Structure 1
Amino acid sequence: MKLLRFIFILICLISCIESKSAHLVGGEITYTCVGNNVYQIELIVYRDCNSTGAQLDNPASIGIFNGTTGVLVQNLQVNKGPTKSVPVNTGNPCLLAPPNVCTQYAEYSVLVSLPPSSQGYSIAYQRCCRNATITNINNPDDWGMTISARIPPNDNTCNNSPQWNNKPPIVLCSQENLSISSAAIDPDNDSLHYKLCEIYHGGGKSNQQGSLNSPKPNPPGPPPYSVVPFNQSNTPANPIPGTPPISINGQTGIISGKLSVTGQYVVVICVEEWRNGMLLNTIRRDYQFNVTSCQASIWADIISEVDDPTQLCIGTTVPFSQNSFNATFYHWDFGDPNSSSDTSNLPNPTFTFNDTGVYTVTLIANPGWPCADTDQVDFHIYPPINANFQYLGDVCSDKQNFIFTPNGNWYPDKTIEWTFGTSLTDANIYKFSGEFPPPITFTQAGNYPVSLLIKSKACEETFIDTIKVYDRPNIQNDFNGIIGCEPFTFLFDAKATSSTPLNYYWEFGDGNSSILDIPFHTYTKPGIYNVKLMAWTTTGCIDTINKDYPGAIVVNPRPVMPFSVSPLKVNIYKPEIAVNTSGIDPNEVFYFDMGDSTIYTQQDFFLHKYKDTGFFKIMRIAVNEFDCWDTLSQIVRVDPVMNIWSPNTFTPDGDNINDTFRPVVTGFNSYKLAILDRWGKIVFESNDPYEEWNGQVQNLGPQCPQGVYSWRLFILDFANSAIEKHGTIILYR
């Protein structure tokens, strides 16, 4: 890429275009017939966006007057459209506009029906005031603006006014040859003539709102309009000094000249509409031009393969782009001698070359202008390499021997570089130059990047893929000498290792199997069991392992020694039982735990007496020659004997001696006591065998009188047999 040419830019606005309180920059009115003498009137008003003055009118007042008498026909109130900015340009693609110049505008559009009139119509809009810094009129902020158009008399064909082709430039450059188009088109193909015109005044500074001398006349005043006088050195035809002076071509609307001053200048451009030798209408563009010193700065810049490597070796169809500075127009020449259409005027074109090779591409920025600049860059037009590789070999770490083969598009001048892994110790060869490297073996299981670099012509491409090496699956556990007692539960853990998931199939030797990796299994019968395991992988290093473990599991029997107890239920008066066991193996050791802290060892028959009532668990514990133990148990119940003792007299006098009464009962499950007076009325009852009668009604009411009372006791003994007892008690006070 060529060394860019840079011209330092120094653009300074003169002090006269600093923002002031006034805001008006200019305006224009046009109209279009939409049919049946309905006209769409378009008003554009320009303002200085750096100004602190009034904003654009909303609404704007547009007056329609009788074309001869000036009588107001309609006063239209038209809403403002969006505020927009005039594009920053100088009318010359070689020149830069100052950065602090800004002009806004808004469009006002309205439909109005105007029947044909023998006197025609005048259309006008007025606004005050202009910027105080304008140079070519005296006391500029005292003057306003009138812009107008005319609908011709007897307009039976519904005329269209000329339409401006573009917005005016925001800046005119001093000491530069101007060539600025102010052309318009006429929808009716009428003849157009261009000239520089007088400035029309409108509005004023009166505080009387809406009056003709106010800033916003509403309605605007009728024609004829006052002319704003130029200062002594300027005229309507020569509004801005220059050598040669500014002028406009009457046929083309091109403004030319070379301005010799800086400042702000009002210029009115008129377009006359002629048909069959008659003047139908004149539209006016009243506009304030900012004239300042401009500096030329432009360069052409093609984005090359160095700037954007993705452009390199992408085939014969190439999208071109550029990063030119201050360029408006472009001309590309792609340097293809086999093509007659190898040029383009697009900013960023795409071109297809007829063949591969090296081509010199040329870009001219702003061709045909004095500031045109050229850039030339060589492009290498070759197909993409599309580098990749294939490999053969075993991914298991104990085999490998990978054979690598490169793929892609290259020319005989190619160079190929290989890199295996990320360090010298990752493989038997770290780097290799050539098309076919020798067999490659990586030092251990893991993921290894393999890089292929292919260079051919000016093309260079790298392809990287990952080679995965896996450990072969391995079973480390050796099931041997595992002994237990029936029923025997064992956790089978093969302690297997594998780089990828393992599948399992266990056979436990007793007709049962499992596909779990670490299963529990219970052997229910004594015996010697052969265990088999098959483990296999389906990804990575694909392998199957078969393991046989003969006699891996030995399950020994437990002692078999039944015993009997007779009887299983006794009472405390006769608490003796007999214990008898059979089938004793002489190699077995056993003992009985009677549940009352009594132990009998190696006795196959014995008698035992309990000393208390209750339930007693008799346990037989035995250990055989295989150190397998077993327990059996039975429950014995020793019942208390049911007895009832009842006093016959009590004296509830509060001396704490024989103050209460209750029957004392032993050997029962359920208890209910009722005490009745001589008339059979219950004076006390309770289900609590320990609750005593204190001689009061229900132990809480009034004292019962001295006398003989009967009691009834209902109980269930330990055999749940119902027993009812009766008696009497003397209450003595």
Structure 2
Amino acid sequence: MREMSTNFWVRVKRLLFKTSLTALPVRLLLTISLILGLLVSSHSLRASHIIGGEINYEFVGFKGGRIGSDTLLYRVVLLLVRDCNGGAAFDRSVPIAVYLGNNARPLLNLRISNPKIARVPPDQSNPCLIIPPGFCEEEAVYSDTFELVRSNQAYTLTYQVCCRNANISNIPNSTGTLGNTFTVEISPQAQNFASSSPHFTAAPKSELCVGVSSAVKLAVADKDGDRLTYHLCAPLLGGGPLGGGLNDMHLANSAQGIKPDPATPGPYEELPFSATFSANRPLGNTGFLALDSTTGTLRILPRTLGNFTLGVCVKEYRNGELIGNIRRDIQIKVSNCNFAIDAMVKSDSTDGQGKFWLKSCNRPNFAFQNTSTGQDKVFAYRWEFDINGRMESRDTKDASFDFGTPGTYNGLMILNPGTVCTDTARVVVQVFPSVKAQFDVSLPGCAIGAVEFNNTSVLNQGASFRTIEWNFGDNNRSSSVSPQHTYSRAGTYSVNLAILTNTGCRDTARREVNYFPAPSDAIRLQAQPGEVCAQAGQLNLSLTVPPEMNHPRYLVEWDFGDGSSGTGFTVGKTYANPGTYTIAYQLTAPGGCGVQGNNASRPIVVKEKPSVDFTFTPEEPSARDPLVTFAESSTLADNWRWDFGGKGTSNERNPSFLFPSEGNYAVKLVVGNGLFCRDSVIREVKIKSEGAMYIPNVFSPNENGANEVFKPLGLLPGISNYQFKVFSRWGQLVFQSNDPEEAWNGKINNQGESCGQGTYFFQVVFQSAAGKTVSKQGTVMLLR
């Protein structure tokens, strides 16, 4: 079928593109349909390549992130293993049926696509045994996340596919029609615990050697740290042979089809074993296989060649209660393996055929290192060398020989000499006259510049440089004979020179290079500020140097000009006494370079701190006349800054300020001596409101021009929410106003009939400019 498919598809494509489907004869359409069906069934439907796998789940959270929600999020993982020495490739998508409780119809039928496919490497834990060629296994991981509503019933997740290989020794599967069921149950307990199932983190060992015992620790992990137990169990049946031929392709997804879609509900039938085999004895009577239920260690000794299928169940317990179980379907292959040892010696080169070359230029004494493989099968060693006509031998794993003089020497290293299981390495040693790597260093003095390296290496007669490699200790290299190099930073650098001659001789030389330049024209003194206050202001001093001099081994010493000193690239200084100071510095580099300097051109001025005080008049100002005059009484001050309680400022020496209303004001005066000497004081000014408002107790609206109206007098500016009301002795409201300027003229609401002579009651309420509520009430006599 594969041989004819290329030409067949070429003919079909030409026919389809030349002729519309409606124009094709019915017989031709049927023929194409049958051939396509045959190709699909033979290349993708039959899955006899599946040799193992499992299905597991992982709890990943609650829907919407709401902890405790009844909608649970799970990641389901289907892992399949196939023999890639034939058969179809993995399907691009698989259906996983989800059943709730004992329901016969699936609640969901998940379809997971785009598996992650990787090659499974063979087990090489025993280097003495060679697994026969042809081992080829692939692993596909199908995974997706879905939602389940918390239930008091179990959810069962199942995938089924046919068919197992026909040549399995321990099951009756000569027709190759026994299929696979991969299933896992999410129990109510697992749902309540928001638990994840155990899962295999690595494929169990599948290639075994007949007659060789193995101890295999199963790699199983549990995200929740629950207690796990391990048991041999039977793999499960699933699917069937239907749908694999031309006439029954439509049955492929049926319960007995080769790819049931959806998978059938449980319970599922166990895989039958042939006579003398069982789930607990998958290798039969001749082989040995035991599983430690606590550690998960498989101990296996196969004695019969063939393919064998078995199952491993891992049960999950929490607080002593069984909450989950996974089942791994495994197929192992038992083969004849070759015993292997390989004689090898650590060398400079080898021809891959058992011959090893070693070279030396500076030492005739060689310490050979035995790197043979399969050394757990080696019980004896033999080294032999012809040294100037004298045969020398050693009987140790590693060996040392002194060859004395330059020359070429041939020898042997033999594993298990005199036995059937032996191997020999031929060893060739070349001893050359010595070479010596060395060099001189020339620094640029105290300047910032290139360091010169002079290669003075001594070569043996007739030799020349093959390679030269300088490592300047700052991640920079050179292959020049005698290079120059400029360092970007000061420091001590370990410089290495490695040489290789045309005769294969190597040598290295190493020297410490101290590069600490100190050019006088590259250093600057920084002093901030240029004027400070005695006993209060700090002067910050620093030396600025180029990046090449940025290194802690430089010593900087300061003379502050007042008998005190300091050290460091950056220092702070506070002077006790006023005056003018010249500051000097001395920078000393490792190796002797030094630079001196001072600030004589711009000395530091230190001023005496001023003192501050002030008075004000009047001492008890009122809101009726809130103008206050201030008089400062500071010493050594030459500038002033007033803050009148946040209502205004002034730079005058003795200012006056009109406060907006009654209240308490924190007046602050800051005086300075120069730019940086400061002193300040705060005093409270109280603007009183007492006596500001008064209300007459009599008025006579008789039109004689005197005392005609009645209202509160002496109200201060800035009042708000003003209310003025007048009542008769019987409580009648005869006048009201919200205007502080409006007065009562003795008439009802200032417009009606005149009120009679007598006593009247008043109320006045308002809010002062300072935010204080003022309320006053009393009587007034109206005279006519």
TM-score by structure 1 length? 0.42
Which structure would you say has the larger Rg? 1
TM-score by structure 2 length? 0.39
Tell me: higher relative CO, structure 1 or 2? Use CA pairs within 8 A at least 6 residues apart: 1
